[in-house]
Amino acid sequence: MKKVTKTEFINFLKKQSETFDIIAPIKGDKGIDYDIITDFDKIIFDHVNTDRSFKRFLFPQSQTLFEFKEGVITEAKKQNKKKFIVGIRNCDINSLKVFDYNFIEKEPVDTFYKELRDNTILITAACPASNSTCFCTSFKIDPLSIGHGDIGILFDKEEDSFYIQGNSSAGKDIVDGLSTKDTSDFDQKKEKYKKNHEKNRDLIKDKNLVEIFQSKLEDEKWGEIFKGCIGCGVCTFYCPTCYCFDIEEQGKFWNGKRVRNWDSCMFPIYSKETTGHNPRPTQKERYRNRVLHKFYYQLKHNNEYGCVGCGRCITNCPTNIDIRNIIKTFI
């Protein structure tokens, strides 16, 4: 581990920008969100979390799978600049367990995701505080960890300094060149931030959700909990772990491209078949699917939850559907 001043850290990022696109949180019209950085002084380090997760940089909302001209298929042109994403919170970095499983570990490998994943350096940051909507500790996530991603940092606002540690071999190589101050007070600092996370609730408390949900697939409560849900794409598009996509043809007959776009199991059309039959006919079944996919199906197959407790679906839902209540309802 190393310790550097803020100026040193910014200079370090500036140096990396020769090889990488630096993506980091900045303040926009709406709130704090990731963007490609041109002005390094604008990067924000002490926020709780970004409006949206960094998912779109590894799994863009719209991505060309291949192109075709006169019926001849060619690979889509790719933008090759490597990425360096700074400030990823612990909930969000854990979403990659879901993505890696679905797109890499489970055969066949999705080359689009893998390529972006391989060409991105991920810098996670210990969370300075939890919001009332944070519940990552339910999933055994430590908000103060700096052990995930290629590099981990802890920003200490008081001293305006960064503790920085390489985790992967690529990360270690990058961090290697930095000079350092004494880091022996790291644990002390970490301890200091702990109290900012008291709001973060463990809602699951070691309960076995696979067992619980297995017996509740047709529970009558499913008929109530979706309340005023309007079936939009907000919760799933904002969710760092949601990976569903639709494939569509763009262009004309024989000339065009095949593209994938984010999709959401909350849209009625998601499951509607050509005959008009819809196996999930109402929002009740669709909402149940979203919950079960997150807390049962994925857990059973991948031993990972499909939720990391970031709270974005809660803060952005236009009808105040709160996934924490759903968990509480069933366990």
331, 204 contact by CB (below 8 A): yes
3-state secondary structure 290-324: HHHHHHHHHHHHHCCCCCCCCCHHHHHCCCCCCHH
Neighbouring C-alpha atoms within 13 Å toward the C-beta of 68:
15
Q: Which does 142 bind (CB under 5 to 8 A by kind): ligand SF4, another protein, ligand FAD, none?
A: none
Q: Does 118 bind ligand FAD (CB under 6 A)?
A: no
User: Least distance to another protein from the beta carbon of 121, Å?
Assistant: 20
Q: How far apart are the first and last CA of the chain?
A: 40
76 counts as binding ligand FAD under rule CB under 6 A: no
Total chain residues near ligand FAD (CB under 6 A):
4
- Identify what 136 binds: ligand FAD, ligand SF4, another protein, none; CB under 5 to 8 Å per kind: none
204/208 Cα distance (integer angstroms): 8
* CB closer to another protein out of 147 and 223: 223
Do 52 and 312 form a contact (C-beta atoms < 8 A)? yes
Q: Which is nearer to another protein, 105 or 159 (CB)?
A: 105
Comparing CA positions, the residue from 108, 105, 141 lying closest to residue 301 is: 105
Select from ligand FAD, ligand SF4, another protein, none the partner in contact with residue 101, using the beta carbon and a kind-dependent cut-off of 5 to 8 Å.
none
Q: Which is nearer to ligand FAD, 131 or 233 (CB)?
A: 233
Closest CB 171 distance from ligand SF4, rounded Å: 24
When binding is defined by CB under 6 A, the residue of 246, 249, 254, 268 that contacts ligand FAD is 246
What are residue 255's DSSP bridge partners?
252
CB-nearer residue toward another protein: 5 or 132: 132
309 binds, among another protein, ligand SF4, ligand FAD, none (CB under 5 to 8 A by kind): ligand SF4
- Closest to another protein by CB, 61 vs 180, is 61
Residues that bind ligand SF4 (CB under 6 A): 229-232, 234-236, 238-244, 264-266, 290, 293-294, 306-313, 317-319, 321, 323
Which of ligand SF4, ligand FAD, another protein, none does residue 240 bind to, with CB < 5 to 8 Å depending on kind? ligand SF4
Tell me which of ligand SF4, another protein, ligand FAD, none is bound by residue 77, counting a contact when its beta carbon lies within the kind-specific cut-off of 5 to 8 angstroms: none
Cβ distance to ligand FAD smaller for residue 38 or 274 = 274
Q: For 174, what's the count of Cα atoms within 13 Å in the CB-facing half-sphere?
A: 26
Q: At 194, give phi and psi (nearest 5°).
A: -55, -40
CB of 286 to ligand FAD, least distance (A): 16
Q: Exposed, middle or buried: residue 220 (CB in 10 Å: 0-12, 13-18, 19+)?
A: exposed
- Contact in structure between 200 and 135 (CB atoms under 8 Å): yes
Give the footprint of ligand FAD on residues 249-288 (CB under 6 A).
269, 274
Report what 290 binds from ligand FAD, another protein, ligand SF4, none; CB cut-off 5-8 Å by kind: ligand SF4
In this structure, the number of other CB atoms found within 10 A of the CB of residue 292 comes to: 20
Q: What's the gap between Cα 108 and its chain centre?
A: 22
**83-117 b/e (C-beta count within 10 Å ≥ 16 → b):** bbbbbbbbbbbbbbbbbbbbbbeeeeebebbeebb
Whole-number minimum distance, CB 98 to ligand SF4, in Å? Answer: 8
Distances (CA, A) of 34 to 21, 53, 85: 12, 8, 9
Q: Which residues bind ligand FAD (CB under 6 A)?
A: 246, 248, 269, 274
